[in-house]
Structure 1
Amino acid sequence: MPRPPILPPIDWKALFGRGKTFAAWLAAAENDRHREEMATTARDLPVAARFLRFAEGIERPVHVVCFAEDWCGDVVRHVPVLERLCAAQPQLQTRYLSREDAPDTFARYLTNGGEAVPKFIFLSESFTECANWGPMPKRCRELIARGKSRGEVGHARKKVAALYEVDSSREEVLRELLFCLDIAASTAL
């Protein structure tokens, strides 16, 4: 039998309610160039029909708490991908918070000890945490971790940038985000 948790429970519904919609978060962005790039990408990113059909087929509401800050390149790259999927299915709802808005919650989602954003927490219709994603695709996170291990983070970041260049359609991110959305919207085991 599992032991009781030692951390206080998170009131995900309340936290979600405190967040900003994508439009409000984007309007408050401090970096004009990043704001415009995210707005354009969220609107115009070409997404393969199979990914959009998958998102459209989600049958239950999914709430996503998004820790994101517009200064970050990974936020600029990945937030619009999530928003493109949400545009295809109104049952997918996002709310945006900065790390400072909920530091105790964000601290539970560090990436190898670092405060990396974006971090997306996928919640079921009953606001139960089901999955989390970020700050970049799994393969890229592994490269950064290996770079840290060897004291070669700069070299690892260059490799990540090369992977981003090759995957300009962001299919790897789409697959991983849809996997998380599918779990949060599960109708059966």
Structure 2
Amino acid sequence: MELLDKRKQQSKPTLVQQGISIGMDYEKYRDLVHHLAETEQTTGHVQTEANVHYTQLNDRRMKRWHKTFAIPDEVQQRIIKIKSRLTFLTITESWCGDAAHSMPVFSKIAELNPNIDHKVVLRDEVPDIMDAFLTNEARSIPKVILWDGESKEIVGDWGPRPLAATEMVEAYKKEHGKLTPEFKQDLQVWYNKDKGRGILREVLNLLPLK
């Protein structure tokens, strides 16, 4: 088992590089989600009314968050000074509600510095990459991996949601067994009140800021 885990760990950099090479940029992903929302479709292997509905919701949410989310000036200056060649590789699907809140944050960070890229791959199309970055043995998304293009190393990863939101989810699951539409609405309210601050704070811990 130890040898198997070691081999799996060693394969991660190769998998991440493959993901970056085939990944789409954030704007292309946004265009894809918008098209799917308009044509009542969704990404992923499972085409359900629920997933189509969430894709449509997320199309509106990402558009709104990209317009309203703002990185504080002092943090912007620190991001601008990053000299490392970095790439955020996001694994997601169009129906993922948590991703609709976090992806605009990563995009805003990347926009500040030409040394930072943001690439997106779809979970169901990259099972090998997804399985290398499980959360509690589950294919939870979004999963964002930070790659250093100079050292060819994985700097860290994040996801599927901020710590405070994760605690809400785990507590609700423990009490009720599963997440209900009512809870998902409560989680949406939390995201709206937090305004991306929790996501930004946790992501900044991954970056080589000075």
TM-score, reference length from structure 2: 0.75
SS in 2 for 1:28: helix
Write out per-residue CA displacement over residues 73-129 of structure 1, whole angstroms, 9 at most, x where no aligned residue: 111111001101111111111111011221022023233343322110011123311
- Percent of pairs identical after alignment? 19
- Counterpart among 15, 19, 30 of residue 19 in structure 2: 15
Confirm whether residue 143 of structure 1 aligns to residue 168 of structure 2: yes
Q: Note the 1:40-55 alignment, pairs <5 A.
A: 40-55=64-79
Confirm whether residue 76 of structure 1 aligns to residue 100 of structure 2: yes
Confirm whether residue 86 of structure 1 aligns to residue 88 of structure 2: no
Instruction: Provide structure 1 residue ranges, at least 5 long, that are not aligned to the other structure.
Output: none
SS in 1 for 2:205: helix
| More off after superposition, 67-76 vs 80-89 | 67-76
Confirm whether residue 35 of structure 1 aligns to residue 59 of structure 2: yes
Write out per-residue CA displacement over residues 26-58 of structure 1, whole angstroms, 9 at most, x where no aligned residue: 222222443354245334422211221221121
Aligned equivalent of 1:65: 89
Shift of 1:147: 2.6
SS in 1 for 2:6: coil
Give the letter aligned to residue 37 of structure 2.
N
Whole-angstrom CA distance in 2 between matches of 1:40 and 1:162: 15
SS in 2 for 1:121: strand
Confirm whether residue 132 of structure 1 aligns to residue 136 of structure 2: no
The answer to whether the 8 Å contact 1:144/1:157 transfers is: no
Aligned equivalent of 2:48: none
Q: Note the 1:154-173 alignment, pairs <5 A.
A: 154=179, 157=184, 160-168=187-195, 170-173=196-199
Aligned equivalent of 2:129: 105
Shift of 1:67: 0.5
Aligned equivalent of 1:179: 205
Instruction: Provide structure 2 residue ranges, at least 5 long, that are not aligned to the other structure.
Output: 39-55
| More off after superposition, 54-63 vs 33-42 | 33-42
- Cα distance change, pair 162–152 in 1 and its aligned pair in 2 (3 A): farther
Whole-angstrom CA distance in 2 between matches of 1:62 and 1:89: 10
